[in-house]
Amino acid sequence: MSEKRLTIDYEEFASVKGMTAEDQQLVAQCLEAQKGSYSPYSNFQVGAALRLANGVIVKGANQENAAYPSGLCAERVAMFWAGANYPDVPFDTLAIAGSDHGVLCESPASPCGACRQVMAEYQKKHGRPMKVILVGSKRIRKFACVDESLTRPAPSELPQGRNAARVGGRSGAM
pLDDT of residue 150: 58
The answer to whether the CB of 172 falls within 8 A of the CB of 133 is no
**pLDDT band (50, 70, 90) for residue 81:** very high
32-77 pLDDT tens trace? 999 999 999 999 999 999 999 999 999 999 999 999 888 999 999 9
Q: Which of 3, 11, 22, 75 is catalytic?
A: 75
Mean pLDDT of 113-123: 94
What is the structure's pLDDT at 158? 41
Assess whether 75 carries a catalytic annotation.
yes
Give dist(CA 148, CA 126) in Å, integer.
Answer: 17
Ordered domains of the chain (ranges, CATH) = 11-151 (3.40.140.10)
pLDDT at 94: 98
pLDDT above 70 for 145: yes
